[in-house]
Amino acid sequence: MKSKLLTVSAIIAVLAIVLILRPALTATPRIYKKSEILMDTVITLTVVSNSEKKAGEAIDTAFKYLRQYEKMLSFFDASSEVSAINKNAGIKPVKVSSDTYELTKKAIEYAALSGGAFDPAIGPAMVLWDFKNKKRPTIEELKEVLPLLDFTHIALNDNDSSVMLKDNGMLLDLGGIAKGYAADKTVALLKNIGITAGIAAMAGDIRVWGQRPDGSPWRVGIRSPRGSNDDLAGVLSLKDMAVSTSGDYERFFIEDGVRYHHLIVPSTGMPARDFQSVTVVNPKGEVTDALSTAVFVMGKEKALRFLQKTNLMAYLIYSDGSTFISENLRAMLEDH
Ligand code: ADP
Ligand code: MG
Residue 127 covered by a domain:
yes
pLDDT of residue 230: 87
% pLDDT > 90, the chain: 90
Domain identity same for 155 and 229:
no
- Would you say the CB of residue 106 lies under 6 angstroms from ligand 1? no
- Name the nearest CA neighbour of 74 among 52, 34, 41, 33: 41
Answer for the pair 287, 280: CB distance below 8 angstroms, yes or no: yes
Whole-prediction pTM value? 0.92
Domain identity same for 108 and 216:
no
Residue 3 covered by a domain:
no
Domain identity same for 266 and 232:
yes
pLDDT of residue 335: 78
Rounded-to-integer distance, Cα 121 and Cα 151, Å: 5
- Would you say the CB of residue 264 lies under 6 angstroms from ligand 1? yes
Which ligand 1 atom sits closest to the C-alpha of 177? 6
pLDDT of residue 27: 80
Domain identity same for 88 and 123:
yes
Residue 17 covered by a domain:
no
Domain identity same for 218 and 329:
yes
Which ligand 1 atom sits closest to the C-alpha of 75? 16
How high does pLDDT run on average in the chain?
93
pLDDT of residue 22: 54
Domain identity same for 47 and 161:
no
Residue 173 covered by a domain:
no
Domain identity same for 186 and 305:
yes
Residue 57 covered by a domain:
yes
Query: Which bound ligand lies closest to the C-alpha atom of 122?
Result: 1
* pLDDT of 20 strictly over 60: no
- Which of 113, 132, 252, 262 maximizes ligand 1 atoms within 8 Å of its Cβ, making it the mutation to test the pocket? 262
pLDDT of residue 45: 98
Q: What b/e string do you get for 267-298 counting C-beta neighbours within 10 Å, with b at 16 or more?
A: eebebbebbbbbbbbbebbbbbbbbbbbbbbb
Residue 236 pLDDT level (bands cut at 50, 70, 90)? very high
In this structure, which amino acid lies at residue 319?
S
Q: How far is the CA of 293 from the centre of ligand 1 (A)?
A: 6
The C-alpha torsion from 190 through 193 and 198 to 202, rounded to 10°, is -10
Residue 311 CA, distance from chain mean position: 20
Name the domain count of the chain. 2
| pLDDT single digits (tens) 131-142 | 999 999 999 999
Domain identity same for 111 and 196:
no
Answer for the pair 245, 204: CB distance below 8 angstroms, yes or no: yes
Mean pLDDT of 265-284: 98
Residue 8 covered by a domain:
no
| pLDDT single digits (tens) 302-317 | 999 999 999 999 999 9
* Lateral strand order in the sheet of 30-38: 30-38, 41-49, 198-202, 205-209, 241-247, 275-282, 313-318, 323-325
Structural domain boundaries, residue 217: 30-73+178-335
Domain identity same for 145 and 60:
no
**CATH number of the domain bearing residue 156:** 1.10.3980.10
- Would you say the CB of residue 180 lies under 6 angstroms from ligand 1? no
* pLDDT of 23 strictly over 80: no
Residue 221 pLDDT level (bands cut at 50, 70, 90)? very high
CA distances (Å), origin 307, targets 291, 299, 325: 10, 12, 11
Residue 151 covered by a domain:
yes
Residue 209 covered by a domain:
yes
Answer for the pair 221, 232: CB distance below 8 angstroms, yes or no: yes
Mean pLDDT of 102-126: 98
Q: How far is the CA of 297 from the centre of ligand 1 (A)?
A: 9
| pLDDT single digits (tens) 55-95 | 999 999 999 999 999 999 999 999 999 999 999 999 999 99
Domain identity same for 216 and 328:
yes
Q: How far is the CA of 28 from the centre of ligand 2 (A)?
A: 36
**CATH number of the domain bearing residue 300:** 3.10.520.10
| pLDDT single digits (tens) 142-163 | 999 999 999 999 999 999 999 9
**Atom 26, ligand 1: which residue's CA is nearest?**
176
Domain identity same for 243 and 182:
yes
Residues 6+ positions from 28 with CB-CB distance below 8 Å: 50, 213
The C-alpha torsion from 137 through 143 and 148 to 151, rounded to 10°, is 90
Rounded-to-integer distance, Cα 68 and Cα 126, Å: 24
- Would you say the CB of residue 118 lies under 6 angstroms from ligand 1? yes
- Would you say the CB of residue 286 lies under 6 angstroms from ligand 1? no
* pLDDT of 319 strictly over 70: yes
Q: How far is the CA of 6 from the centre of ligand 2 (A)?
A: 69
Domain identity same for 116 and 43:
no
Question: 135, 165, 195 — which closes off a domain?
Answer: 165
Mean pLDDT of 19-39: 79
Which ligand 1 atom sits closest to the C-alpha of 205? 4
Residue 21 pLDDT level (bands cut at 50, 70, 90)? low
